[in-house]
Amino acid sequence: MQRYVLDNGLVLWAHKGSFRRSHVILCTKAGYARDPPGKLGLAHLIEHLTIPEHLETIESLGCSVDGSTYRDYQTYECTLPVRSLPRFLEILRSHVTFSDHPDSHIEKERNALMLEGGKKLDCPSDRCEDLLNSMLEGVGSSQDELRGVKRVTRTDIQDFKSRYCVANNMVLVVVGKTDVTVVRDLAERVFGDLCTGSVPAISQLSMAGYGNKTEFVPSGLAYVAGGKYSISPEHPEFVPLECAVRTFHSIDLWTSRMFRELRLAHGLVYTPTANLEVQSAESSLLSWQVSCFPQNVGRVQSLIHGQLEDLASKGPSAAEWYRVRKAMLAELQNDICEADEYANYLLSHELHRHPLPTEYARLIRKVTQRKIRDAAGKHLVGGYHTVCVLPEQKIARPFSHCAQE
Ligand SMILES: [Zn+2]
């Protein structure tokens, strides 16, 4: 793989491998943390406006584009046949910089966004996650976005684009069966004349909520807990902590007889998930989630805390750690063969200094049960958790998501 910086400041990562198709990610380093005050949702609306307009053209190339908006950046990504690469990059470039959308298009996407937000508010697990994220990330929630996006004007869109959609604020990742020098020349031809701007430094994720514990009326359907860690991927504890989260996720809480009984008797409705996510180069977010009926919130909470305390005092057993390590290494092995996964590793490395697959595998091999125990003890137990339990009465159709189970 090779990292280039074009004369205008655009960062390009190119990697050649024996992939069947290519994968492209264009990242602009402006997410919802850059939304102007009272206009939360602007970046998200821009993501919507950027993608669908010429979708047909893109689909005729045999690919479809995915857009995502995060706190600090946006991505547009696509898996496509190698031969479509030049044409696709041209389309991508014109879409990302275009800002003269007709009013009807803006209205259409604004409505799509309102619908998306409304659905989120009505799903207890989404709503809990949303609440948690807005607390941990220090930005507004979906409700604020619903209000904010109504106020977004055409000028806001143009200002945002001219300020942030500039070469030195972009990262392009291309993974496929194409020589890196060919990719570099292509990027130079398509993106080389993109202008440069002065982009203010990105505000770091505030750690103000660290150490807080927030509880809502314990009568809801979903339970989400999470924490924010000022721990970067470069920190020696990061990989053991990630291993601890994976171990936690795989240990018997989720498969034990007690859990099955709880599920049968009291209707725990979701398979719990645990996630450690690198949020910026300086901090990470951790969350786990269980949906349950109101009367079980206390039991679920103590189940989770009990398991975490176990992990922190004893660490995983040799058999558990063997199983988790094997799974993690197999997953990495698989990721190396998939163009889209590989491209995302490269982007994560550029944005968050997350280790590249080979380095990451080496680090996982070095992790011991004791390191996992210590990382869990230091970060996963204690008084820093943020807990969200939604009050039941605030959900319009509290049981609608159970029906999907
Ligand atoms: Zn959306």
- Going across the sheet that includes 170-176, the strands are 2-5, 11-16, 170-176, 22-28, 74-80, 65-69
Q: How far is the CA of 143 from the centre of ligand 1 (A)?
A: 14
Q: How far is the CA of 52 from the centre of ligand 1 (A)?
A: 11
Q: How far is the CA of 44 from the centre of ligand 1 (A)?
A: 6
Please state, in angstroms and rounded to a whole number, the distance separating the CA atoms of residues 233 and 195. 32
pLDDT at 218 over 90: no
Q: How far is the CA of 112 from the centre of ligand 1 (A)?
A: 8
What's the confidence (pLDDT) of residue 56?
58
Closest CA to 395 of 66, 126, 41: 126
Q: How many CB atoms lie within 10 A of CB 284?
A: 25
Over residues 46-65, the pLDDT tens digits come to 999 988 655 656 667 777 78
Please state, in angstroms and rounded to a whole number, the distance separating the CA atoms of residues 127 and 133. 10
Please state, in angstroms and rounded to a whole number, the distance separating the CA atoms of residues 373 and 7. 47
147: which 2 tokens? Answer: 């209000």
What's the confidence (pLDDT) of residue 208?
54
pTM for the model stands at: 0.88
Query: Do the domains 222-404 and 2-191 match in fold?
Result: yes
pLDDT at 394 over 60: no
pLDDT at 45 over 90: yes
Domain boundaries, the chain: 2-191, 222-404
pLDDT band at 190; cut points 50, 70, 90: very high
Q: How far is the CA of 13 from the centre of ligand 1 (A)?
A: 26
Residue type, 53: E
Q: How far is the CA of 385 from the centre of ligand 1 (A)?
A: 28
**Residue 278 β-bridge partners:** 284
Cα angle: 112, vertex 117, 120; to 5 degrees: 130
Q: How far is the CA of 115 from the centre of ligand 1 (A)?
A: 9
Please state, in angstroms and rounded to a whole number, the distance separating the CA atoms of residues 337 and 192. 30
Over residues 275-330, the pLDDT tens digits come to 777 777 777 777 777 766 666 667 777 777 788 888 899 999 999 999 999 999 99
User: Which CATH superfamily hosts domain 2-191?
Assistant: Metalloenzyme, LuxS/M16 peptidase-like (3.30.830.10)
Residue type, 398: P
Using the CB atoms, write b or e for 91-105: b if 16+ within 10 Å: bbbebbbebebeeee
Closest CA to 12 of 133, 141, 178, 223: 178
Instruction: Determine the straight-line distance between the first and last CA of the chain, rounded to whole angstroms.
Output: 43
Q: How far is the CA of 37 from the centre of ligand 1 (A)?
A: 20
Over residues 142-162, the pLDDT tens digits come to 889 999 999 999 999 999 999
pLDDT band at 256; cut points 50, 70, 90: low
Kind and range of the H or E run holding 31: none
CB neighbour list of residue 296: distance below 8 Å, 6 or more residues apart: 262, 266, 267, 268
Taking residues 78-103, report their average pLDDT. 90
Least confident of 203-207, 229-233, 321-325: 203-207
Q: How many CB atoms lie within 10 A of CB 6?
A: 19
Q: How far is the CA of 60 from the centre of ligand 1 (A)?
A: 23
Please state, in angstroms and rounded to a whole number, the distance separating the CA atoms of residues 233 and 352. 7
CATH class of 222-404: alpha beta
Q: How far is the CA of 182 from the centre of ligand 1 (A)?
A: 34
Q: How far is the CA of 113 from the centre of ligand 1 (A)?
A: 6
Q: How far is the CA of 46 from the centre of ligand 1 (A)?
A: 10
Q: How far is the CA of 222 from the centre of ligand 1 (A)?
A: 23
What's the confidence (pLDDT) of residue 133?
77
Taking residues 99-112, report their average pLDDT. 92
What's the confidence (pLDDT) of residue 395?
47
Q: How far is the CA of 254 from the centre of ligand 1 (A)?
A: 31
Question: What is the CB-side half-sphere exposure of residue 211 using CA atoms within 13 A?
Answer: 3
Q: How far is the CA of 275 from the centre of ligand 1 (A)?
A: 21
Q: How far is the CA of 24 from the centre of ligand 1 (A)?
A: 20
How does DSSP assign 133-148, residue by residue?
Answer: HHHHHTS--HHHHHHH
Q: How far is the CA of 116 from the centre of ligand 1 (A)?
A: 6
Q: How far is the CA of 199 from the centre of ligand 1 (A)?
A: 25
Q: How far is the CA of 161 from the centre of ligand 1 (A)?
A: 18
